């Protein structure tokens, strides 16, 4: 598995390209914006995008999904690259992306209806690996985490950060739900599991168990 991280939008959100070196088929995770930059990196790396995955419905993670899908669509009526995820409980956010975009100056943000929502217990194949879906609400009601047992690696969106956790000061946020999701679903994955979060540097589950002030006591 190869990963390229592209911080996009003024929020410096970690958009990720995930691919298998052998077939060059790639997944784009959380294309929040700056679509021309994402496209340029896909071309530079010689990748073939087969899906777009969203971890949750916030503008900085999902705002560029529709524009990216349109740009990737090949001529002659070929099937569009599907957008999948997050959990259906974030649909109300995805249907408000254009309005969110106007507030923050995201000129290419469009409301988004995924081809498929993702639910806990399901899997998504990326770079030849099966990633398990974990529903981890609190930051948003439909936030998901993508975990590969084989790679011992997770994409956690804005659920967990290096030294912090996702914001919950939204009308639909819940700090209790977020901490419960982290302690019951992420920490049991194992201290050796590395993760990439939605903003900033990644870490390991073990390091966060020991040092993250939101997870102490």
Number of domains in the chain: 1
Whole-prediction pTM:
0.96
Please name every residue paired with 161 in a beta bridge, in sequence order, or none if there are none: 164
Q: Which domain holds residue 139?
A: 2-215
CATH code of the domain in which 173 resides: 3.60.15.10
pLDDT tens by residue, the chain, 217 residues: 999 999 999 999 999 999 999 999 999 999 999 999 999 999 999 999 999 999 999 999 999 999 999 999 755 455 689 999 999 999 999 999 999 999 888 888 999 999 999 999 999 999 999 999 999 999 999 999 999 999 999 999 999 999 999 999 999 999 999 999 999 999 999 999 999 999 999 999 999 999 999 999 7
């Amino acid at each position: 598995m190869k990963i390229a991280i592209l911080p996009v939008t003024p929020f410096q959100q970690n958009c990720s390209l995930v691919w298998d070196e052998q077939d060059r088929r790639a997944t784009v995770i959380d294309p929040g914006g700056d679509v021309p930059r994402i496209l340029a990196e896909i071309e530079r790396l010689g990748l073939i995008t087969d899906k777009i995955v969203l971890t949750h419905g916030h503008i900085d993670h999902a705002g560029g999904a529709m524009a990216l899908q349109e740009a990737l669509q090949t001529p002659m009526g070929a099937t569009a690259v599907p957008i999948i995820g997050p959990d259906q409980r974030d649909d109300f956010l995805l249907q408000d992306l254009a309005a969110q975009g106007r507030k923050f100056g995201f000129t290419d943000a469009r409301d988004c209806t995924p081809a498929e929502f993702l639910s806990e217990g399901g899997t998504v194949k990326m770079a030849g690996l099966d990633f398990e879906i974990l529903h981890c609400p609190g930051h948003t009601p439909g936030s998901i985490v993508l975990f590969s047992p084989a790679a011992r690696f997770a994409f956690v969106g804005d659920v967990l950060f290096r030294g912090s956790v996702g914001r919950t000061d939204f009308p639909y946020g819940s700090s209790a739900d977020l901490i419960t999701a982290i302690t019951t679903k992420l920490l049991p994955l194992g201290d050796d599991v590395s993760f990439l979060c939605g903003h900033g540097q990644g870490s390991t589950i073990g390091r966060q168990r020991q040092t993250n002030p939101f997870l102490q006591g």
